[in-house]
Structure 1
Amino acid sequence: MVDSSRPLTVDDVRAAHKALSGVARVTAMEGSRHLTDLVGSPVHLKCENLQRTGSFKIRGAYARIAGMPAEERARGVVAASAGNHAQGVALAASLLGVRSTVFMPRGAPLPKLAATREYGAEVRLHGHVVDESLAAAKEYAAETGAVVIHPFDHRDIVAGQGTVGLEILEQCPEVRTIVVGVGGGGLIAGIALAVKALRPDVRVVGVQAEGAAAYPPSLAAGRPVALDAVSTMADGIKVGRPGDVPFKIVGALVDEVRTVSEDALSRALLLCLERAKLVVEPAGASPVAALLSEPDAFAGPVVAVLSGGNVDPLVLQRTLRHGMAAAGRYLSLRLRLTDRPGALAALLGELSVADANVLDVSHVRTDPRLGLSEVEVELHLETKGTAHCAEVTRALRGAGYTVRA
């Protein structure tokens, strides 16, 4: 257990790394030619999406539970999570012979529920958001004496997550910039703690989703500030308030915290799947989203930490569609035709000449805004990028159609 009476140091991270030997995998470091060409210097992907339980969370969870006194372990542990932390706590507790209970929202994805149970935790469904599940977990702890394992706001958790930083320096000693997704801050705080102690010249950059960016205003205020609301597809970094423990470290050691859009997140997930052949959840793809959004802002060699790959198949399907649309691979158009035989065939002929693949066609004939002999057609097309989208639209307008996006 990390001594809470003194500041965390790289020695605490080293101790966690030793405790994790044989438990957490030393995950692969993969080069990305596409991102290297985009950034103009080498870009490597630290693949924590291939870690046990599918994310980095096993590192901090195991370090935390392993550091508990025997009498605390005997009382069991309890956690609240919609996914990654739940699985990390469940596996860590099982490996250490500790009873675990995890409260999850009723809407948690079925694959994550099943995986948490399979790793050995008793799963209880409560509430519709993690905050409600956390309240129930705390009540359970008060009633039973079980120890609450927080996902990011504890010194042992931060030390455990910092082992990612030690591995990065061993695998890519020439690194100049490390880019990390940020929710509550446990991962980036641990990485910064380890890396800045050994290589103070390395730049550590955090990335948050625009709709859940609590760190920029908190850093400006000099204290953790809670957001009124959070909204992002990136559940793994959907946190409305920085943790007190990681916030102090982030404020002292992290060079910058950037934000990325939902479009950038979905495009990054698509890129990881198509170009790197890696399944990555939106939160895990956030560093790649930052590189895509402003490639000139990062001095290389760059290491982007893919923090997790636990994405629900339905979310993956929606996100990929969103990513393809953002990349100009889908185009949706509405236009009006004269409602007569052959009109639709003529339109499809124009699209064939423009080399656009028609995925779906729907008709509206009952809108009061339409003329008596008019029909509105909505088209969903598969295209080849933003330039091709513009070409298709120009071709249709050139053929006399009034096109609305």
Structure 2
Amino acid sequence: MHLKEIRKAHNNIKDIINKTPLLYSPIFSAINNCSLYMKCENLQITGAYKIRGALNKIRTLSEEEKSKGVVCSSAGNHAQGVAYAAKLLGVNSTIVMPKNTPYLKVQSTKEFGGNVVLHGNCYDDAFLKAKFIESQNNSVFIHPFNDINVIYGQGTIALEIFEEIENIDVILCPIGGGGLISGISVAAKELNPNIKIIGVQAEGANAMEQSFKYNNIVCLNSVNTIADGIAVKCPGELTFSIIKDYVDDIVTVSDKEIAESFLILCEKHKILAEASGAASLAALKKLNLSGKKVVSIISGGNIDMLTISSLISDGLVERGRLFCFSVELPDTPGQLQEISKILSELNANVVQLEHNQFKASNRLKNVLLEVTVETNGIEHIELIKLTLNENGFKIIQMY
């Protein structure tokens, strides 16, 4: 039943959306001893998969409903999808976004024609505001995940995957409210009942993982993750009912693990994803997928420059490519030179250095040196620490 509706959704949107590439990843395959393919929805129109569900939903509205305009709440990608689809179809749109939404997503939503209202600190706050606007203006609310026509639109991704690859063992999919994985799972399970569908959530926003575990909807008091696109406090009832029947497991990943996967994706594939988009790749290490044919959904690529910088830095630290330490030294000539000599001999490139007397515990006799160096991995860092210690320098690792 679901597959028929998803095929209908695909026919409903195929004239607009991109059929995004499905790319084989030698690096992630090697790291995890599997055959890993990436479904790159970061290369979709508006930079994320959300246009699929938004366009399908708005195209199913009656002319009377369209004349009333649409309203939605979103951390960014659904906002852009609704704004783009609405403008394309000549429908007025009001988009409520959390105040902490990245600048790029806010600006892009405005450029796509949406009337942006900033409200609250997370998706759920924006949702309440959007529902208020709906009641005040008699607009049509376009839910980002808890709507069957939105879900069917997202499920068209599974059709594209199966057109290109047969005998897939596992699909890894990020989860916020659950619309994406709901659509993909119902389509994929009808096409191949033996396939495993595994959801991925951020540790700091794991409402669906908790709900799945306890077989009852669990809402969080707050969310805290760099993956703003999947930072949802409360799952949808519709998506939860689908997920508990069609999804095999849900795992969580840390922000550090997301940052590491983001760095590999950028460095090795020259592909830019947002943090939530890289979450499915971060889950690979949490699972035993040896010998399996796996598809990871790269759900979006809408990310601002400041967040890119932060994610790269975190990823470098996580992979042992940046090492920062402090050491208190006697305030006598030659101490800094000795440290520099050791680092040079070990091929550790100094990228930042602070020599500050006022930070030392004994300001009259000592100075505190803080050094950040570029390194070649965890083993290189351990060698630097050992060598400094052997030469009498008692260092404190900052990161």
Tell me what 2:47 maps to: 54
Summarize deviations over 1:35-72 as a string: whole Å, max 9, x none: 11122231111000000000000000011111112211
3-state DSSP of counterpart to 1:229: coil
Structure 1 moving runs of 4+ over 6 Å? none
Tell me what 1:348 maps to: 340
Which residue of the other structure, out of 374, 377, 385, is the alignment partner of 1:385? 377
Equivalent residues in 2 for 1:129-148, closer than 5 Å: 129-148=122-141
Tell me what 1:199 maps to: 192
C-alpha distance in structure 1 between counterparts of 2:350 and 2:214, whole Å: 51
- Structure 2: which amino acid aligns with 1:289? A
C-alpha distance in structure 1 between counterparts of 2:122 and 2:222, whole Å: 12
C-alpha distance in structure 1 between counterparts of 2:392 and 2:60, whole Å: 72
1:309 aligns with 2:301: yes
1:404 aligns with 2:399: no
Shift of 1:129: 3.4
Summarize deviations over 1:221-262 as a string: whole Å, max 9, x none: 322110122111001111111111111111001111011111
1:234 aligns with 2:236: no
3-state DSSP of counterpart to 1:248: helix
Equivalent residues in 2 for 1:1-400, closer than 5 Å: 9-291=2-284, 293-294=285-286, 296-297=288-289, 300-367=292-359, 369-370=361-362, 372-400=364-392
Shift of 1:374: 1.2
C-alpha distance in structure 2 between counterparts of 1:234 and 1:401, whole Å: 39
Higher mean Cα deviation, 37-46 or 362-371?
A: 362-371
CA, structure 1 residues 105+217, in 2 after alignment: closer, same or farther (shift >3 Å)?
closer
Residue pair 1:140, 1:146 contacting (<8 A) in 2 also: yes
Higher mean Cα deviation, 107-116 or 278-287?
A: 107-116
Residue pair 1:332, 1:378 contacting (<8 A) in 2 also: yes
Shift of 1:368: 6.7
Shift of 1:14: 0.7
Higher mean Cα deviation, 385-394 or 363-372?
A: 363-372
Summarize deviations over 1:163-204 as a string: whole Å, max 9, x none: 011111111112111100111100001000000011011111
C-alpha distance in structure 1 between counterparts of 2:174 and 2:291, whole Å: 18
C-alpha distance in structure 1 between counterparts of 2:287 and 2:197, whole Å: 15
3-state DSSP of counterpart to 1:275: helix
CA, structure 1 residues 371+114, in 2 after alignment: closer, same or farther (shift >3 Å)?
closer
C-alpha distance in structure 2 between counterparts of 1:219 and 1:175, whole Å: 24
C-alpha distance in structure 1 between counterparts of 2:382 and 2:363, whole Å: 28
C-alpha distance in structure 1 between counterparts of 2:176 and 2:108, whole Å: 22
- Structure 2: which amino acid aligns with 1:321? S
Shift of 1:80: 1.6
C-alpha distance in structure 2 between counterparts of 1:59 and 1:73, whole Å: 18
Residue pair 1:177, 1:298 contacting (<8 A) in 2 also: no
Shift of 1:125: 2.5
Tell me what 1:4 maps to: none
- Structure 2: which amino acid aligns with 1:339? D
After TM superposition, the score normalised by the length of structure 1 is 0.95
C-alpha distance in structure 2 between counterparts of 1:359 and 1:332, whole Å: 10
Summarize deviations over 1:107-133 as a string: whole Å, max 9, x none: 332221221111111122333433333
Query: Structure 2 regions of 5+ residues with no counterpart?
Result: none
3-state DSSP of counterpart to 1:24: coil
3-state DSSP of counterpart to 1:178: strand
Query: Structure 1 regions of 5+ residues with no counterpart?
Result: 1-7
After TM superposition, the score normalised by the length of structure 2 is 0.96
Q: How many residues align?
A: 397
Residue pair 1:177, 1:299 contacting (<8 A) in 2 also: no
